Chain A
Amino acid sequence: MRKIGVFVCHCGTNIAATVDVKAVAETLGREPSVVVSEDYPYMCSESGQNLIKDSIRDYGLDGIVICSCSPRMHENTFRKAAASAGLNPYMVEIANIREQCSWIHKDKAEATEKAILLGKAAIAKVLLNTPLIAGESGVVKRALVIGGGIAGIQTALDIAEAGFPVDIVEQKPTIGGKMAQLDKTFPTLDCSACILTPKMVDCAQNENIKIYSYSEIESVSGFVGNFTVKIRRKARYVDETKCTGCGLCTEKCPVKKVPNEFNLGLDNRRAVYIPFAQAVPKIAAIDADYCNMLKNGKCGLCSKVCTVGAIDYKQEDTFVEERYGAIVAATGYEIADVSRYGEYAYNQSKDVVTSLELERLMNAAGPTGGTLLRPSDGKHPHTIVFVQCVGSRCTPDKGKPYCSKICCMYTAKHAMLIREKYPDTEVYVFYIDVRTPGKNFDEFWRRAVEEFGVHYIKGAVGKISPRPDGTLDVQGSDLLMDEQLHISADLVVLAAAIEPSKTARSLATMLTASMDTNDFFTEAHPKLRPVESPTAGIFLSGVCQGPKDIPETVAQASACAAKVIGLLSKDKLKGNPCVAHSDEMMCNGCSNCANVCPYGAITYSDKEFRMPDRTTKTRRVAWVNPAVCQGCGACTVACPSGAMDLLGFSNSQIMAEVDALCR
């Protein structure tokens, strides 16, 4: 006869206001095998836990059911409590009567009935629980940071500072990311490059940091503490060990009309190029799409002028395989395509630009040398209109449902800088709301309005039409004055939505990290575990998790580093004992389980079996590596014969729960 204890939590009034907890405890107390059933205001409190511990000892309980909040919240708490009273922690089951019951019901009678059913299901399950013991695995003391923007740089620097080796994989020829393209940063208006490039140099010089620039992640296998990652080092046709970054090749290259992506195509670069002056590593790369030598074997000029013989036209992609204990996703963002909004005439006029393009037009290292000139005719614009929320806060068919968060502040920054430098320029901002929470943020945009005389207009722009005289007719509505406006503008700046990097989704697949519908990485808990992915050993840094400005990104990057350091400083990790195992007598050897296993935990071998008729039969059977299995259960569903089962969540346990609910 099993001895089960049931403990019903009030959670203050969270549960007790909607569920008759006394009735739940009393009813569940009458279930077979239940020897004690108690309720308590806060089961997770010290005295609540003591009640559980004492009951385990006093009644000799061999299984307990806690009717409380989600197991994500306190399962661990109660497992620890059980363990300290001598009960195997996996003999604890949680019936979630808060999130799945009291919080979603209003009728007390209904909620009470449901809570009792959930309790009965948990009792049915715990009766089939078996004590489980977690195994241990080692930790590879090296971290991988994917993405070399400010998020990746900060995370890598912090991890390296703690003494752990860390590799940065960046798909572009240089680290620096979007921040390297910005002109000034809000709210202090210091130069972006001035504060970023020292950090880039720190990365290059730090002994613990290795930068794989112009590289991509090819494949990821393994599990927390022990990932194996294959990195593709794209051919840059320049020997990294020889190139000194002198730039002679980039001056002599005859292919001059390659759109310069660093300046967002606002000017041109050569086929062999160094993205920008402070690039790290400062090594040239040859663009195979444009290079004459690579395309048709005619030219070779760069190789002739290179004094160190670094040019290598025969270079091919190479692969590096490395093991890591932790992986950080820091893949950042891209500017959403604004050409789909025909009303803003982005494709029709060169003088309709995105905010990031404006950053380059205002930057001293940009195509105009820092003087704000119209892209169409190189003249000073005297009337500039900013349009907010282009592609953000839309219905899903029109654009992004979320707020891109950084646009209100950078637009205030742009408006202020323009008014300061060119006081003869009128600046209009069409906005839906101005959202400037943050330290010194609201003061910042108010300065734009109050001190710099920027015209903020609450309303939307309906149509932008290029006129023959080169100006742009901006038609919009002023909601506060309730009138239609026509502004004759020289330049229009669109605050384009930001979206996660296009590479993020395939990376998430490789990492088995989850994503939301907008392709932002999902955090393990939106409030309490914001820098970890639900997949153990995968961490999130920067905008890949959600829109953020630089201060927030840096804060999150350091928080992420702290979590990585915490993991890497452990020598052993306790595994999850709830892993799959295969009943060899039932296994067909069909490979369904191995096909669906996202962790590569299942292998097959031919084994000899003694059959009931005393013959020997060789059969192909599955084996699950418990150190690799994460207990997701995909294999148990794919297995046609039911040979594959999950410890702690066995098929029979789940059937028992369902039966209890249907009884």
Chain B
Amino acid sequence: MRNKLVERAKELLADGTVTRVIGWKRGEFSYDVTPAVFETAEELEKDFVYDGFCGANVSKYLIRESAKEGKILAFLKPCDAFSFNQLLAEHRIRRENVYAVGIPCEGMADIGKIRSAGIDGVTGIREEGEEFVLSTLYGEERIAKKDALAERCLVCKSKRHPVYDELIGEEGEDLPDDARFEAVDKLEKMTAEERFQFWRGELSRCIRCNACRNVCPACTCENCVFDNPDSGLSQKAAADPFEESMYHIIRAFHVAGRCTDCGECSRVCPENIPLHLLNRKFIKDIDELYGAYRAGENAENKNPLVSFREEDAEPSVVHERGRA
């Protein structure tokens, strides 16, 4: 697949359709892959990667890249495509400056899980059926996908691209949502006190590195409230336990109705806080109160929290639910 993408990117660069390409590049380690912009065929040949460690969502980078002159080729996994579409809905990306190529994704590996399985010194990854084959400093290792996939991929919402100019590989389908909300169900079944303790425990590990915000494709404000001294919220350090909880709660509210559940927040969290559960709770609530809704499904959609229909749940219903 990687070679296919590089070939197509080179063609599009050569025929002048695009002037730049956004994809993924290896960092210090093989599992340390970050989005990167390529401008020449040579750069692509040398550094472009697409493998089981390319979990990073490239859509957010297109805000800046699409504001520049010339068209950019963006390789979008289904997750990235939903985020891309949502950003289009919010007028954050200049569509005419992006050539979107949908690419297939069979799920991305979680290096933490691989390490926990006792596999160290990973230098490369490839897929083989239901397994990941890992080359390591100590020889080749195999691990079942179900043991190595990131949580977000185990409960993958869709293999479909809601938006693209061109598709490489076959278009996938939406996947059933049942498993995706299991963890939220569990939280909902807790008593308020148990739930509070759960989150206090999880969030107590927060070091306020702001990685979740910086990576989030919904967190795209010109001037974030947490950086704005006039907002009354701008504390960048974890000043006290209350402060760090409020940071995450405020962030969850800000992205409610806009979050596509791409799971980047949890991927980048150095403390492994399951931040995506806050967002998923909002998604579940929105689905149940206002009817099934998927952020990023199309670029015209008004999300239920900023639109009004007569059949919307009455505030009293929302209030009752909040008390449960």
Contact = CB atoms under 8 A, between A and B. Distances in A.
A620 B91 contact: yes
A296 B51 CA distance: 63
Contact of A617 (B67, B220, B225, B306): B67
B223 A585 contact: yes
B196 interface: no
Contacts of B306: 592, 595-596, 638
Contacts of A315: none
Interface string B202-233: 00000000000000000011111100101110
Contacts of A588: 90, 92, 220-222
Given A586-B221, A588-B220, A509 B91 contact: no
Contacts of A620: 91
Contacts of A617: 67
A586 B310 CA distance: 32
A586 B92 CA distance: 13
A592 B301 CA distance: 12
B307 A595 contact: yes
A248 interface: no
B254 A509 contact: no
B308 interface: yes
B223 A586 contact: yes
B228 A591 contact: no
Contact of A640 (B67, B89, B221): B221
Nearest to B307: A595
B310 to A, nearest CB: 6
B308 to A, nearest CB: 7
A604 B91 CA distance: 11
B225 A642 contact: yes
A33 interface: no
B85 to A, nearest CB: 14
A589 B92 contact: yes
B293 to A, nearest CB: 14
Interface residues of B, number: 23
A652 interface: yes
Contacts of B67: 617
A518 interface: no
Contacts of B230: 642, 652
Contacts of B232: 651-652, 655
Contact of A509 (B90, B92, B228, B308): B308
Interface string B284-314: 0000000000000000001001111010000
A598 B203 CA distance: 37
A318 interface: no
Contact of B231 (A506, A595, A642): A642
Contacts of A393: none
A596 B90 CA distance: 14
A649 to B, nearest CB: 15
Given A595-B306, A641-B224, A590 B91 contact: yes
Contacts of A643: 222-223
B189 to A, nearest CB: 28
A604 to B, nearest CB: 8
A506 B254 CA distance: 30
A652 B231 CA distance: 7
Nearest to B306: A595
A356 B230 CA distance: 63
Contacts of A595: 302, 306-307
B91 A591 contact: yes
A505 interface: yes
A47 B319 CA distance: 45
A590 B92 contact: yes
A587 interface: yes
B223 A641 contact: yes
Given A586-B222, A641-B224, A641-B225, A591 B310 contact: no
A638 B221 CA distance: 13
Residue with the highest number of chain A CB atoms closer than 10 Å, among B220, B230, B254, B306: B306
A617 B64 CA distance: 11
A520 to B, nearest CB: 16
A155 to B, nearest CB: 26
A245 B230 CA distance: 70
Contacts of B307: 595-596
A651 B231 contact: yes
B90 A590 contact: yes
Nearest to A592: B306
Contacts of A604: 91
A592 B90 CA distance: 8
Nearest to B87: A590
A406 B60 CA distance: 63
Nearest first, the 3 closest Cβ-Cβ pairs linking A and B are A641-B221, A590-B90, A595-B306
